[in-house]
């Protein structure tokens, strides 16, 4: 497959222009405007502190590609904002080259995606798109809003002793940011006055028993221990519900998105813009198309050998300066300047860029920094390590006729899960989703049907983000090391999930059946053929459980990277942050984004990161009051 690669620079609308230059000093500087940094900067300014928010991209808050949540595939592909990271899934290049959507640069302005590249094509790797735009990745994602398991919050309590991270306490931050538009006002588990709109789909389709989707829905209920006759009601269950044993509850849910009831995306972009436009004239300045090259430290503290103190940032100004930007032109640089912070610098560049910025600033594994002649400010071996993500995979098939159905959202536990907690988040519908590559997804025709799966609580979290040079325009080397630890267990759980969903598909009936499964079990194979015949899986070489596991091992994908600047306890040498987001061993510097989570937080980290941001604002403002 070939895809066009644009090289022309495209100007984006900006809410801040050179006509209103940044001042030379602020109380706070926040680097990155995504789910962590964007709301934090707005909250600090609303508290009366002069705050500079720096974003490497532009502002697309008026662009329907981004504002209409239904355009998320187009948004993620849009070169106007896209940053392409080409990642590895393992240390084995042979294994990685089995990934069917491996991407190559052909040298003629196009990408080749596949396993048989043209001669002289340059290997790029596995695409992992991020968004350089005001609002960050919350501007190009599908907007799914779900919560981590309680244990994902409580692990921070266990590591640090800070009870403010308890799941019970963290709920208040959801209530603080949420503007719920799908439940009657008064539900104590939700918020109704926040800045983040949440909405849910209309699942009235499930009342129609004649639909193939409804028949599959009831079969899924049967296979997961739910009442098939109650499925019509269960599909409207609140996925953000509170209560005992929620994480151990297998159930259908209504998919909630951070969008309003009219389908307009709700993201940090909205909150930032509202803060700038507020008649109260909050002291927020936004500086767009500006690449932060490093954090600055007080030279006196460095010379004296005392605790280093962050005092500002160095920036390079201009569009498309970072080499992850497909619009970047080789050799392009911008003017470099320095901006000071009288209180703190807060890095919120995400799981890839936050550790890169720290390392470029002299904070990270000493041996790695020394390799690139970067002066070591603080030896922190955990910076850029502990990279984690959920494993994602899908069942994809073509029906004999289109599958009439709405979206089925199901969280369930497979038999071999190591705890009582559910481990698979699946959503099924007449769509195609097989991962990421330039031009994704592939449209397989009107009869396509997919159950996409997110495997939660991966047992291996051994990936890394490491420098390739001291040049801040370079992309880092990113390796997720999927399935490196206890991988066989995670793969078995994915196969169990696939087998259950495949059985449920056989309830679709006429005119949909038979399904022509494309993966992980092509229809000629034993598992798919046996399921179609209503029999137990046949142990044929072409699609045993082992063959399905191999498929997921080589074709799993992800897009929820976290944990590269993890919070940890005083006794953890790999901890980068304390429980208040402060970078260990230095002063005046914090990291507030998904990289702070010690483990991957549930199935989708966007809303949890916005909750984390609200907590960070509370912690930072409390420290500011103490210092006054």
Q: For the chain, what are the domain ranges?
A: 24-78+265-387+562-627, 202-254+391-455+486-555
Whether the per-residue pLDDT at 67 is higher than 90: the answer is yes
Judge whether 370 and 478 are in contact, CB under 8 Å: no
**Distance from C-alpha of 461 to C-alpha of 136, rounded to nearest angstrom:** 24
**Distance from C-alpha of 397 to C-alpha of 444, rounded to nearest angstrom:** 9
Whether the per-residue pLDDT at 8 is higher than 80: the answer is no
Give the CATH H-level superfamily of domain 24-78+265-387+562-627. FAD/NAD(P)-binding domain (3.50.50.60)
Nearest to 133 by CA among 319, 263, 5: 319
Q: Is 213 annotated as a binding residue?
A: no
Region for residue 445 given its phi and psi (left: phi exceeds 0; alpha: psi -120 to 50; beta: otherwise): left
Q: Which two tokens stand for residue 560?
A: 């929820």
User: What does DSSP say about strands 363-364 and 378-379: parallel, antiparallel, or unpaired?
Assistant: parallel
Q: Is 143 annotated as a binding residue?
A: yes
pLDDT band at residue 540 under the 50/70/90 scheme: very low
Torsion sign across C-alpha atoms 291, 295, 299, 303: negative
**Residue where the block lists tokens 């519908």:** 429
**Three-state SS at 117:** coil
User: What does DSSP say about strands 310-317 and 363-364: parallel, antiparallel, or unpaired?
Assistant: unpaired
Percent above pLDDT 70 for the chain = 93
Percent above pLDDT 90 for the chain = 92
Q: Which two tokens stand for residue 523?
A: 């229809």
Rounded average pLDDT over 275-301: 97
Is the pLDDT higher at 457 or at 628?
457
Rounded average pLDDT over 332-352: 98
What pLDDT score was predicted for residue 85?
98
Judge whether 321 and 328 are in contact, CB under 8 Å: yes
Selected from 2.60.40, 3.40.1710, 3.30.410, 3.30.450, the CATH number assigned to the domain covering 202-254+391-455+486-555 reads: 3.30.410
pLDDT band at residue 543 under the 50/70/90 scheme: confident
**CA dist list (Å): 250 to 4, 185, 247, 461:** 43, 26, 8, 25
Burial (CB count within 10 angstroms: exposed 0-12, middle 13-18, buried 19+), residue 300: exposed
pLDDT band at residue 18 under the 50/70/90 scheme: very low
Nearest to 603 by CA among 149, 174, 187, 89: 149
Is the pLDDT higher at 13 or at 267?
267
Residue 330 has what DSSP assignment? Answer: T
| 233 CB neighbour count, 10 Å cutoff | 13
**Three-state SS at 304:** helix
Angle at CA 539, nearest 5°, toward 536 and 543? 100
Q: Is 292 annotated as a binding residue?
A: yes
Question: What are residue 198's DSSP bridge partners?
Answer: 180
Q: Is 144 annotated as a binding residue?
A: yes
Please report, in angstroms and rounded to a whole number, the separation of the first and last CA atoms in the chain: 60
Reported as a single tens digit per residue, the pLDDT across 210-261 is: 999 999 999 999 999 999 999 999 999 999 999 999 999 999 999 999 999 9
Torsion sign across C-alpha atoms 433, 434, 438, 440: negative
Question: Model-level pTM?
Answer: 0.94
Judge whether 480 and 89 are in contact, CB under 8 Å: yes
**Distance from C-alpha of 438 to C-alpha of 470, rounded to nearest angstrom:** 28
Is the pLDDT higher at 46 or at 17?
46
**Three-state SS at 474:** coil
Judge whether 134 and 70 are in contact, CB under 8 Å: no
């Amino acid at each position: 497959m070939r895809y066009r690669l644009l090289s022309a620079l495209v100007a984006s609308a900006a809410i801040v222009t050179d006509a209103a230059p940044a001042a030379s000093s602020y109380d706070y500087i926040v680097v990155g405007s995504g789910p962590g940094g964007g709301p934090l900067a707005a909250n600090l300014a609303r508290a009366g502190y002069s705050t500079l928010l720096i974003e490497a991209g532009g502002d697309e808050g008026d662009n329907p590609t981004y504002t209409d949540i239904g355009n998320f595939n187009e948004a993620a592909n849009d070169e106007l904002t896209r940053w392409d990271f080409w990642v590895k899934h393992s240390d084995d290049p042979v294994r990685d080259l089995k990934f069917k959507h491996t991407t190559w640069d052909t040298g003629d302005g196009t990408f080749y995606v596949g396993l048989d590249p043209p001669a002289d094509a340059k290997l790029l790797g596995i695409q992992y798109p991020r968004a350089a735009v005001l609002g960050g990745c919350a501007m190009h994602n599908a907007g799914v809003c779900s919560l981590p398991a309680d244990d994902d919050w409580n692990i921070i309590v266990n590591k640090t002793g800070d009870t403010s991270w308890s799941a019970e306490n963290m709920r208040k931050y959801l209530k603080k940011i949420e503007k719920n538009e799908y439940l009657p006002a008064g539900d104590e588990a939700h918020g109704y006055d926040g800045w983040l709109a949440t909405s849910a789909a209309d699942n009235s389709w499930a009342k129609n028993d004649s639909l193939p989707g409804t028949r599959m829905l009831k079969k899924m209920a049967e296979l997961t221990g739910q009442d098939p006759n109650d499925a019509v009601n269960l599909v409207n269950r609140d996925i953000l519900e509170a209560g005992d044993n929620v994480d151990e509850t297998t159930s259908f849910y209504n998919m909630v998105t951070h969008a309003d009831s009219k389908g307009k995306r709700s993201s940090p972009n909205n909150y930032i813009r509202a803060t700038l436009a507020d008649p109260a004239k909050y002291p927020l300045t936004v500086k767009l198309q500006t690449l932060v090259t490093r954090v600055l430290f007080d030279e006196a503290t460095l010379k004296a050998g005392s605790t280093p103190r962050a005092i500002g940032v160095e920036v390079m100004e201009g569009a498309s300066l970072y080499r992850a930007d497909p619009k970047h032109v080789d050799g392009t640089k911008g003017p470099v300047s320095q901006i000071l912070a009288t209180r703190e610098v807060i890095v919120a560049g995400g799981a890839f860029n936050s550790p890169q910025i720290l390392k470029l600033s002299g904070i990270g594994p000493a041996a790695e920094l020394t390799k690139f002649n970067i002066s070591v400010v603080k030896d922190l071996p955990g910076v850029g390590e502990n990279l984690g993500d959920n494993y994602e995979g899908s069942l994809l098939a073509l029906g004999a006729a289109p599958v009439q159905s709405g979206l089925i959202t199901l969280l369930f536990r497979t038999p071999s899960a190591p705890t009582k907690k559910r481990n698979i988040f699946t959503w099924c519908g007449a769509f195609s989703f097989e991962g990421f590559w330039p031009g994704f997804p592939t449209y397989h025709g009107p009869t396509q049907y997919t159950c996409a799966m997110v495997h939660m609580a991966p047992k291996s979290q051994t990936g890394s983000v490491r420098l390739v040079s001291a040049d801040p325009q370079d992309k880092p080397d990113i390796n997720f090391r999927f399935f490196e630890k206890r991988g066989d267990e995670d793969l078995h759980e994915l196969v169990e999930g696939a087998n259950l969903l495949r059985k449920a598909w056989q309830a679709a009936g006429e005119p949909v059946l038979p399904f022509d499964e494309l993966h992980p079990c092509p229809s000629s194979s034993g598992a798919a053929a046996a399921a179609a015949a209503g029999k137990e899986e046949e142990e044929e070489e072409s699609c045993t459980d082992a063959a399905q596991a191999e498929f997921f091992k080589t074709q799993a994908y992800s897009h929820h990277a976290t944990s590269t600047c993890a919070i940890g306890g005083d006794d953890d040498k790999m901890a980068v942050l304390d429980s208040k987001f402060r970078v260990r061993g230095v002063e005046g510097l914090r990291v507030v984004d998904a990289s702070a989570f010690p483990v991957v937080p549930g199935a989708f980290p966007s809303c949890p990161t916005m909750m984390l941001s609200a907590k960070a604002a509370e912690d930072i403002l409390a420290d500011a009051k103490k210092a006054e």
